[in-house]
């Protein structure tokens, strides 16, 4: 089974909200694995389009990533931070996500204490992220292509007005996720899910 088929299957399961819950509350090891899975989903074009299709999905992911970066000062983990940076780096390849993240990336991503332990590959990835965020969008970019034409990422109507570090947050980060991610395959079908994950991880 190739990666595209695996990703297509995973998008129909509870794997994304499950990973986001682990990223928010898990141990360092489980957070690293869950973030890596989200990273792999984002690398695939259909995964990126899916997570950026609606404002709810985008903010569910970006809010958790933002929270994880803020936790790095208390519990630094270069391995985990590497995967977080790669997730951001892929998100900004989506035009609307780039606009939403511009000026709203956690300032801690520039904190020397966090960055000094990153490997060269991660430092290059972070440098590219900052360059892409600061660049102007191309004049011919259609920010609504391959996406839902409903709420814009800056539309506050989908979210509570509670904010942290400039990012709007849903009132409950997980209570709405079954609807947000349109679950088709229940997590009880764990054998299929974990069989697919073996092809991704």
Domains, the chain, with CATH or none: 3-135+164-193 (1.25.10.10)
Please state, in angstroms and rounded to a whole number, the distance separating the CA atoms of residues 84 and 172: 22
- State yes or no: pLDDT of 118 exceeds 50: yes
DSSP H or E segment with residue 163: strand 163-164
Q: Side-chain half-sphere of 19: how many Cα atoms within 13 Å?
A: 25
Model pLDDT, residue 2: 58
pTM assigned to the model: 0.73
Query: Strand pairing partners for 168?
Result: 163
Rounded average pLDDT over 88-115: 87
68 CB-near residues (< 8 Å, 6+ apart): 23, 24, 31, 35, 80, 84
Model pLDDT, residue 142: 46
Model pLDDT, residue 38: 97
Model pLDDT, residue 93: 95
Confidence of residue 86 (pLDDT cuts 50, 70, 90): very high
127 CB-near residues (< 8 Å, 6+ apart): none
Please state, in angstroms and rounded to a whole number, the distance separating the CA atoms of residues 79 and 31: 10
Work out the mean pLDDT of the chain and round it to a whole number. Answer: 76
pLDDT over 90, % of the chain = 48
Model pLDDT, residue 107: 84
Model pLDDT, residue 94: 95
Model pLDDT, residue 154: 54
Model pLDDT, residue 153: 58
């Amino acid at each position: 089974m190739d990666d595209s088929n695996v990703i297509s299957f995973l998008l129909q399961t509870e794997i994304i909200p499950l990973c986001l819950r682990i990223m928010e509350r898990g141990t360092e090891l489980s957070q690293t694995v869950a973030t890596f899975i989200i990273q792999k989903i984002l690398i695939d074009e259909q995964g990126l389009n899916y997570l950026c299709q609606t404002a709810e999905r985008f903010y569910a992911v970006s809010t958790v990533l933002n929270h994880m970066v803020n936790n790095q000062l208390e519990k630094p983990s270069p391995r985990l931070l590497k995967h977080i940076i790669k997730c951001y780096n892929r998100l900004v390849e989506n035009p609307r996500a780039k606009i939403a993240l511009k000026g709203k990336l956690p300032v801690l991503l520039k904190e020397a204490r966090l960055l000094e332990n990153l490997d060269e590959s991660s430092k290059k990835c972070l440098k590219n992220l900052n360059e892409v965020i600061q660049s102007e969008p191309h004049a011919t970019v259609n920010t609504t292509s391959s996406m839902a034409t409903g709420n814009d990422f800056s539309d506050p109507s989908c979210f509570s007005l509670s904010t942290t570090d400039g990012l709007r947050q849903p009132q409950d980060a997980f209570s709405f996720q079954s609807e947000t991610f349109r679950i088709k395959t229940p997590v009880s079908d764990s054998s299929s899910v974990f069989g697919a994950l073996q092809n991704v991880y």
